[in-house]
Amino acid sequence: MGKNRKLVLFISTSLDGYIAAKDESLDWLFKVEGEGDNGYSEFYETVDTILFGKRTYDWVMKQGIEELPYKNKECYVFTRSPLDDKEDVKFVHEDAVNFTKNLINQEGRNIWVVGGGELLHSFLKDKLVDEFIIKVAPILLGTGIPLFREGEDQVHLSLKSVRNFNQFVELHYEVKK
């Protein structure tokens, strides 16, 4: 069966490639002056499934919310710990790459990889990611949690568009396969 949906990374990063400070703070990101919702709702409409690494999920849940703010989307969290599913989220304990390949081969809209860097790394190693939509914040953090980890393979991209939302630059790339 042919592939009918795309796996898309939609994420914000510092100019020097960090998605969070060492202490996981995103204060630096929320201080950036954007424009409207910085293209979020436009992107959100294109997906029906959302993937998280466990640390990213934990970060979201630490923001004083009871449940994930992604109504009517299928949400999956990858973890090697045995956790029970909740109403709004399923914890995936099987191999992340195989599980995601199966998702990609099902009918549906695109799949959003929220992050973080560790989960992304598993997908990049197996060349699963189809598109990158990266919002670059005008800051050099110097240290933090990296978006990209060291890897063996080069990933060649084709630039689809560049937009700016006030101080953010959005780079939209397609992966050459």
The residues near 65 (Cβ < 8 Å, ≥ 6 apart) are none
Q: Which amino acid is at 52?
A: F
Among 9, 11, 68, 75, binds ligand NAP (CB under 6 A): 11
Of 24 and 88, nearer to ligand NAP (C-beta) is 24
Instruction: Please list every residue from 147 through 176 that binds ligand NAP, using CB under 6 A.
Output: none
What sign for the dihedral angle of Cα 59, 118, 17, 162?
negative
Q: By CB under 6 A, what part of segment 12-51 binds ligand NAP?
A: 12, 19-20, 24, 26, 29
| Residues 46 to 105 in contact with ligand NAP, rule: CB under 6 A | 53-56, 59, 78-81, 96
Which residues are CB-contacts of 23 (< 8 A; sequence separation ≥ 6)? none
> Cβ-count burial of 48 within 10 angstroms (0-12 exposed, 13-18 middle, 19+ buried)?
middle
Which residues are at the interface with ligand NAP (CB under 6 A)?
11-12, 19-20, 24, 26, 29, 53-56, 59, 78-81, 96, 114-119, 122, 145
